[in-house]
Structure 1
Amino acid sequence: MVVVFETNEPYSPAMLEAALIDIYKCLQAPSSIPFASCAAAINTARDVVADIGPRAASRSVGLLDIARCNPRHSERETHKVLAKKYGLALDIPQSRLSTKDDGCHIPLLRLRDWARFLLKHNCWHLCTGLVRPDQKRERSILKVFWARYKQWNPKHPIFQKAARGEVCLSRVAPICFHGDEGRSRKRSPFMVLSFYPMLGRGVCLQKKQKAQPLKRYLKLKPNFKGHSYTSRWLFTGLRKRDYTDKREHNWKLVLEEAATEAAHMCEVGAESLSGERHWMQLVHICGDWPFLHKSGYFRRSFLTVQKRLSQRRLAGICHLCLAGTSDVQFEQIATRRPKWLSTLHQESPFDEPNPFSVVLHVEDRLSELWAYDLFHVWHLGVSKNYLGSVLVILSELEPHSSVDARFDSLTEKYKTWCRVHKRRAHVIKINKELLNWTTTSQFPTGSWHKGELSTVLMEYVEWRFLSESFDDPMLTKAAEACHAIQACIRGMYSADLFLSPSESHQISELGFRFLRRYEQLAQEAHAQHKNLFVFQPKIHIIPHWLVALSKASKDNRYALNPLGTSCQQNEDFIGRASRVSRKVATSDLSLSRIMDRYLKAAFAKWVDCGYLVKPE
C-alpha cells in the first residue's frame, strides 16, 4: 500500500494522522478494508517519513515507530509497537498448549483470562445482554435466567451448588462452547473454537417494527445482535495439519483444555476489582453436526445412518436417543409419542471417557451437553429438502415443454418478486443443478450453502401460496406445511431465550403441523412414483425440540428456545477469524501471529462499541 497526497501544500497534522490511520487499518484488517501485510505497512510508513521528514512525522504518534520496524521481522516488530507499546490490542495473555510436537505451537486465550479481562474493564454486562454496566440489573437478569432454567432442567447440579452456598446464581454467567471450520490460506480448513455468553441483545429482524416496544428491565434475549468480535471469545484457532493425521492427538488435548477452563470457571471463578467472585457455567456445546460428532466422539450420529437395505447392524443417528437403530426408525416424525422417546438417555453414545465429563452436568446425561443447531438443521437442512421438491412442482406449472425452459420461467418470477419486495436473490437462476435434480430418479434438495437463501426462497414460496390458488392436492398440502413452519420459525425468532407455556404450545403445534404435512407429501409422492420430499437424518432433530416444548407447555413451565443454541452469529465469527488467518505466512509461529492479529482487530471493535477506551 502506498499513501499519496495530491497537494503542493505542506503536510498538516490532520494529513499525518490520516496516513497513520491508513497504516493502522491495514493491520486491523476490518471487513471494509483490504488485508495488508505488516511489511507493507512498514514500507508505507517509511515512504511517508521520507516525504515529510522525521520532524513532521513525529507529530503523528506511532508513525516513526512503525517506520523504524525491521521488515524482515514485520509481524513481531509491528506487534511490539501497536500492542505492547501503544496498547492497541486486547490485553489478554496468550497461553501455550503443551504438545508432543516441538514444531507445533498452539496458543490459547483461556476462559479464565477472558473472565478477568471482562471484570477488569467493567464489561461483565456483556454476559447478560446489556450494552452498558448496571450491576443491579445484571444480577437480576442472571437470577431470573437460572430460575427459568431450573424449570427447564431442574436436575442440573448448579442448583445444588447454589443451595450449598458454593456459588451465587446472580453472578453465574451461562455460556456455550462452539467450534467450526472456516477457510484459511489456499482454502485449507481452519478450525475456530470459542466461548460465548448465552444471553445477548436479541435478533436483528429484517422487518423493523413500526412502534418500538419499551425496553424491559429484565430482558433475556438470545445472543445474535452486535459485532461478533465483542460477543464471541476466541479460545484458539487450528490449521487442519495441527489436529489431523500425525497430530490428531492435539485435537483431544485442545478439547481437554477447553473443558478444564469451563470446569475451572464453574468451580473457582474469577474475582472483580471489588473482590467479588463471578462464575461461568457451560450450558451447551454448539455447532453443526460434524463438529458435535467430532467433539463428542459419538458412536451414533448422521455418519452411522443406514446406507443399505441389507445392513443388519444399525448404530443409530442420534446421541440423545436410539433413533435410527433396527427397532426405532428416525423417520417417525408425525406423532407426539414417537418410539424413540422412551429411549432418551437410555444408552450412552460414548465409546470412551469424554474430555467434557469434568464439566458440571446432570448425572448419566452428559450427552445433552451437545445441543443441535437450528441454523444447520432448518436453514441448511430440512428447508432445502422441502424447497427442492416444492420448486420442482412449481416449475411443472410453467407453460413450457422443456425442463430448462420451465426453470427459466420460474427464475424470472422469483427475481421479479425479489425486486418488488426488496430481497436479495442470491442466485442467478433456479435450475436442476441448484436443486441437485439432474434426473427424475434423484430426490431434489437445495445445493446452496447460504442460510439466507433458504429464508428468501421460503418467503417467495409462501407468497406464491398466498397469492395464487392451486388445484394440485400436493401443492395444497405443501402450502399448509409452508404456512405452519414459517409461523413456527417466526415465533422462535420473535420470542425471548425462554418460551412461556403458551408460546411453547403454539410453536410446537405449528411444528407438528408441518411435520404431518411433510410426511403426507412424502407418502403421496411415493404413491405417484415420484422421488420428492426426501427424509434425511436432520429431520429427526425437529421432533426432539417440539416434543420437549409440548411437554413443557403441558407442565406449565418455561422452555429453552431452540434459537438459543443456533449458530448464525458464530458463522460470522468463524469467517472473520478465518480471513485473518489467510494473511499470515506459514511458519511454526503462524498460530501465534494469527492470535496477535485477532487481538488487534478485536480491540478496534471493542473501542468502536464503547466497551474500551483507546489509550492516549
Structure 2
Amino acid sequence: MRSYGVNVKNARRLHNALVQKFGLEVRIPVTDFVHMEGPHTVTIPYLKPSDLFETVLLKEPWLLLGGSADANSQQLLQTFWRCYEKEHPDHEVFLHGRDRLDRTVPVTLHGDGGRTQKKQPLEIFSMQPVLGLNSRSTNESNQCCCETSELFGGDNPGDPLAQHINSKHNSYLTHFLIFAYPSKKYKDFKGLLLALLERACSDLGTLCATGVTGFDKEKWYPACVGFKLDMEWMAKSGSLTRSYQNVGETKEHACCHECDAGMPGVPFENVNADAEWIPTRFNTVPWRVEPPWKNNPFDTARPAKFLRRDAFHIYRLGILRNFIGSCIYLLVYMECFTVQGESNAMAKCLERAWGNLMLFCNVQNLRVDGVRGFTVLNLHASKGAFPWLGCKGSDSIVLLKWLIFLARLHLSDAAGLSVQNQQVLSWIVKGAKAGLSFSQGIHGHGLWLRGSCVKFLRNASQQFGASYAHLAAYCLRKNWTFFGMVPKLHASMHFRTELDDSLQENREWTLNPACFDNSMSEDFIGRVARQSRRISFKNVERTILSSYKVKLQFEVKDFKRRRGQ
C-alpha cells in the first residue's frame, strides 16, 4: 500500500523515518570529523567514545559491568583492578587514587580491516569491555583442562575466578563501533586513518580523566588496558619502525615492536627461555612519530605495551598454519602417503592426505570449512617457498588433531621406521599437542589464571616452540624448505616469556592471554562488513553507523528477553 506523497523509490529515507518514528536504534549521537590534507577536505562521521560510554552506561550499564548492574558491580571492578595491579602496576589508572577504581571500567580497543561492496577494503575501529557478560549472570562453574584442574565461574563479585573473558554471545553485545569507512574511497587522504584514531583516542583519554555520570548518578570512568590488533593493522596504525614487515633476508633488522629481536646479535629465531631478546623487552619505543593513542593514559615507562598481542592471529591464523603446511609436506617426503604400484607424484600424495583427513573427520564428527583439498597452490609451496595452509582458525584445531592421529598411527608401526623418522614423528605429535593445549587452553579458563594454569600454558607454549625449532633444524639439514622461522613464531614466544614473568614473581592471579584474543572481534568485523554490503554505497560511512545502532538495539532487546530481564 502506497501512502500519498511518499516516494517509495527512496528506501533510505523511508528507513530513516521508520527508525526515528519507532525508536528502533540506540540513541548515540553521530559526530562529524573534518580532515584536511593539502587543499582537500573530507568529513567522516563517527561515534565518539565518550558518547558511546555515556549512552551505554545510562541505558544498558550491564553491557559494561559483566552482565549485571547492581550494588555488587563496584566490588567486581575493585576485584579486577586489585588483580590487574599485580600484572601491570605502572598503568596510569593507579595514579588517580584507589577511591575511584571501583567505578572504573576496563576496556580495550580493536581495529582491523574488512571487505565492503566490490571487495573494497573497509577500516573498522571499535571499543570492547574487558569483563565478559557471563561474569555476573550465572552460578555455574566450569573446570579447566590443565594438569591441575581449577574451577572457574560463579557469581561472587569478589572472586577473580568468577570473571569471564568477553568472548561469548553476539559480538554486537561485546563491541561498540566507533567508525567504519572504505579506505579506497579516500586514497588521496593518506593520513585519514591516523587522524581518526588520534581523535577517537584523545576523546577516550579525556573521558578517562573526567568521567561521566552513570545510571546511579555517580561518576564512572573507563580505563584502556590495551589496543588488540593483528600485525598488519599494528604496523600501519602505529607507523612502526619495528614490525614483521622489517624482517631482512640478507641483513638483520629489528622485527618486533616489543623487543630488539632481529638486530645483530639478537636473533628472533631463538625460542629458548634464555634467548638474547628477552632482556631487551620495551627498552626502546618502536616508532619515531608519536602514535595516535599518545593522549590515552597508559604507561609512560613502557608505552609499546599498549599494543597487545593477539593469540588468534599469532596461533590459529599464524604459526599453526605454518606448522600444519610444513608437516603435510614433511609427511609426504617421509613417504607416509605413497602407494606401491601407483603414481606417487606430489599432487597424488596430497590428494591421499586429503582423503585421509576426510576419513578422520567423518569418524570423529569434525569438519573443515575453509579448505577444499590439499594442493601446491593452497599450501603456498611453489618455487621453493616455505609452505603454509590457508585455512580458517577453527580448521587449524581440526588439522592439529588429525596430525596427532596420523603421526601416532605411523609411530605404532615403529618396526618399519628409522630411528630418525620416529624422532621426527614424535616432534610432530608434541608440537601439535602443545599447539592445541595453548590455543584451546586459554579459552578454557576465565579472565584470571591460577599459578598451576599459568605453568601448564607456559609449558605448552615452550613445547610448541621447541618442537617447531627441532623440525626446522632437521629440515634445514635435509635442505628442505619447511618450517620457516617467521616473526609469528617469535611473537608466540612472548606469551611464554610473560607467563615466565608471572611464575618468577609468584603472582596469585595472572591475566589470561585470551583477554586480547581477536576471535570474537573477527566475528564483529565480519558482521559490520556484511551490513555494509547490504546498504547503499552512497554516504556509506553514515549509513553503516545507523545500521549498527539499529542492530545493536535489536540484539540488546533479544538478549534481555532470553535472560528474562
TM-score (norm 1): 0.81
Match of 2:367 in 1: 424
Q: 1:498 aligns with which of 426, 448, 461?
A: 448
Q: 1:321 aligns with which of 227, 241, 259?
A: 259
Letter in 1 for 2:229: G
Match of 1:363 in 2: 300
Task: Tell me the secondary structure at the aligned position of residue 36 of structure 2.
Answer: coil
Q: CA RMSD in A?
A: 2.4
Does the CA-based 8 Å contact 1:324-1:330 persist in structure 2?
A: yes
Match of 2:138 in 1: none
Match of 2:212 in 1: 270
Q: 1:562 aligns with which of 513, 516, 534?
A: 513
C-alpha distance after superposition, 1:143-202 (max 9, x if no partner) = 111111101111212112124x5xx11111111111111111100001111001112147
Match of 2:148 in 1: none
Letter in 1 for 2:120: S
Counterpart mapping for 1:269-288 below 5 A: 269-288=211-230
Does the CA-based 8 Å contact 2:120-2:184 persist in structure 1?
A: no
Q: Does 1:299 align with 2:241?
A: yes
Does the CA-based 8 Å contact 1:174-1:280 persist in structure 2?
A: yes
Counterpart mapping for 1:339-350 below 5 A: 339-350=276-287
Aligned length: 529
Q: 1:235 aligns with which of 178, 190, 195?
A: 178
Please state how far the C-alpha of 1:567 moved relative to its aligned partner: 0.5
How high is the sequence identity, in percent, across the aligned residues?
23
Instruction: Write the distance in 2 (CA, Å) between the matches of 1:161 and 1:357.
Output: 18
Letter in 2 for 1:97: F
Q: 2:113 aligns with which of 160, 181, 187?
A: 181
Match of 2:56 in 1: 118
Letter in 2 for 1:385: N
C-alpha distance after superposition, 1:523-565 (max 9, x if no partner) = 1111122222111111111111111101211211122221111
Task: Tell me the secondary structure at the aligned position of residue 247 of structure 1.
Answer: coil
C-alpha distance after superposition, 1:340-372 (max 9, x if no partner) = 112112122111122211111221311110111
Letter in 1 for 2:470: Q
Match of 2:167 in 1: 224
Q: Does 1:105 align with 2:43?
A: yes
Match of 1:600 in 2: 550
Instruction: Write the distance in 1 (CA, Å) between the matches of 2:408 and 2:441.
Output: 19
Q: 1:85 aligns with which of 17, 21, 27?
A: 21
Letter in 1 for 2:337: E
Of 394-403 and 493-502, more deviation after overlay is shown by 394-403
Match of 1:351 in 2: 288
Of 601-610 and 467-476, more deviation after overlay is shown by 467-476
Q: Which runs of 5+ in 1 are unaligned?
A: 1-48, 51-63
Letter in 1 for 2:336: L
Instruction: Write the distance in 1 (CA, Å) between the matches of 2:309 and 2:323.
Output: 20
Please state how far the C-alpha of 1:99 moved relative to its aligned partner: 2.1
Of 228-237 and 430-439, more deviation after overlay is shown by 430-439
Task: Tell me the secondary structure at the aligned position of residue 294 of structure 1.
Answer: helix
Match of 1:196 in 2: 128
Please state how far the C-alpha of 1:572 moved relative to its aligned partner: 0.9
Match of 2:382 in 1: 438
Q: Which runs of 5+ in 2 are unaligned?
A: 136-141, 145-150
Instruction: Write the distance in 2 (CA, Å) between the matches of 1:103 and 1:511.
Output: 49
Instruction: Write the distance in 1 (CA, Å) between the matches of 2:311 and 2:113.
Output: 18
Does the CA-based 8 Å contact 1:504-1:559 persist in structure 2?
A: yes
Letter in 1 for 2:87: W
Task: Tell me the secondary structure at the aligned position of residue 105 of structure 1.
Answer: strand
Give the direction of change, closer, same or farther, for the CA distance of 1:134–1:364 in structure 2 (3 Å limit).
Answer: closer
Instruction: Write the distance in 1 (CA, Å) between the matches of 2:322 and 2:264.
Output: 24
Instruction: Write the distance in 2 (CA, Å) between the matches of 1:265 and 1:201.
Output: 23
Q: 1:459 aligns with which of 401, 409, 416?
A: 401
Does the CA-based 8 Å contact 2:461-2:495 persist in structure 1?
A: no
Does the CA-based 8 Å contact 2:126-2:178 persist in structure 1?
A: yes
Bigger radius of gyration, 1 or 2? 1
Q: Does 1:486 align with 2:436?
A: yes
Match of 1:94 in 2: 30
Instruction: Write the distance in 1 (CA, Å) between the matches of 2:186 and 2:400.
Output: 38
Q: Does 1:155 align with 2:155?
A: no
